[in-house]
Structure 1
């Protein structure tokens, strides 16, 4: 029996990168998945690639109405919802803190934190009203645990995600709604050049990779495997944790 057989999941920011890797893993484990992304072209292409057990809905994770549309699609197309993966994220280019603009500050807190707020505002009542177990998994970051200069407000946004997730784990544990995080170290995604503050090349990544004991960046498969465990019945007694998918970076 596949580990997520019969489950229905929403994965945000899943047209590429970590999100697409999570969606592919979940489908491979028997789940049906709705991928949400701002990019219609990339999202539709990803859904077509992932097959009949995947659907796509273009949406903005900072808007309650778009979360309501995702819930409606999950119930109409797949009969319900079990798992929510808040993967969509944003950052600005690595630079001194005093150069960060108000627009950049708003971007990281809206996409990284407000999206989690909106998802819970819309979806927790669904689980409560239907007395249905639920799983929320936030893709946070090692930056929320071991912050460094240059990405101050991105780091702060991910720390808020981790802390808020732990708080909700306590609050909604009695309702059998589990909240957990995974925190990847930098990988090779569409945002890597922003984290580095320069082009995403092997040479430019070398200095950062040298700080990872296992000697490589994180991959979509690494993140997907951790999310799959947390979403599965194997983790039925796991809530309020943050799994560092970081090759030992945070030790």
Structure 2
């Protein structure tokens, strides 16, 4: 008998979010157990130490999962403070709009894996700002993308290119500073050539620029050691990053 198109209904398998499949969810637990069993079979004399190590990794999995949940809560709290509504209302509005949902997913993912604490609340503030004023969606979506890239090493590099003037209440007014060579930053931080990918990220995010022009790099950009001699300067976005992180740290 010929099968008609409506005889069978496509059923999507239930899977954990990708972020939970390895290391934080049940999939991660199964994965770790399978790895431990495979290693133990390959080296029987090491089975006890391996089992102990897997147990420790399982404990680490739980710790990371709790930390991620706490940071997600921080994002939602910061967003609710910005919108002056409850976290529950923030979640409701996010789930009712595809654009908001995608931006929230990006913000929550970045918050869950960052080592820069002030970035977590700043992501929430950006999310709250675009929820409060739909006209700011484009601007704040750019900031969510920037914040998803920036980590502590980027901030330390960028600080060489900005100038801060102390204000009241512990706040600082940040502005682009003078031109600085990449080599100066590299030597100051002791990073050698490792400074180059950080500089490349900052250029692509629009936080640094070549004096007299705009050069955010491109997907094919390849930095060689000669780039250490390049002279760059911060953009207004670069200075604004510090204000955003500072405000987030102040209010969190």
Please report the TM-score for the alignment, with normalisation by the length of structure 1. 0.21
Please report the TM-score for the alignment, with normalisation by the length of structure 2. 0.21
Greater RCO, CA 8 A, separation 6+? 1
Q: Which structure is larger by alpha-carbon Rg, 1 or 2?
A: 2
